[in-house]
Amino acid sequence: DWNPFFAVWQLRGKYPNRGYPKIFEDATVGGEAKKVFDEAQEILKKIVSGRKLTANGIVAFYPANSVGDDIEVYENDETRGTPIANLMTLRQQELREEQGEYLAMSDFIAPKGSGVQDYIGLFACTAGIGMDKLLADFEAKN
């Protein structure tokens, strides 16, 4: 989604759309939008081909059960009585006539009192390892 990119440059228009971005055809901002977009594409190509940034991630599965709208996470199956974390989830807030049920993430984990030993998968990722050096290089050149 390039809309935030164009908004930072104060270039208002339609992007994306099917086929070709309409912002490039805009009489007022089209030329400048195409110019900064092409420059951004070149920078992204250099970052990828030069392996300037590193991505890293981790995934884990933990025993878990829900308590109301919250999810209790346990260290292991044997110690399900003492949670190591409590994930507070928020129930859907937007009122919709056709929707009778408002869900929370906890609705997808077995309740603690059910006797079902359920699990939750968690992940975290980053693509910004090396960003400090990359920014310092850009600042030194500009």
Gap between the Cα atoms of 22 and 30, Å rounded: 8
For the chain, give the number of residues: 142
For the beta carbon of residue 10, count every other beta carbon within 10 angstroms: 8
Gap between the Cα atoms of 13 and 29, Å rounded: 8
Gap between the Cα atoms of 66 and 72, Å rounded: 6
Element (DSSP H or E) covering residue 66: strand 54-67
Determine the pLDDT at residue 67.
97
pTM score, whole prediction: 0.64
Determine the pLDDT at residue 16.
64
Q: Which residues of the chain have pLDDT under 50?
A: none
Burial profile 22-45: b = 16 or more Cβ within 10 angstroms, e = fewer = ebbebeebbebbbebbeeeeeeee
- Rounded to the nearest 5 degrees, what angle is found at the Cα of 24, between the Cα atoms of 18 and 28? 135
Determine the pLDDT at residue 97.
74
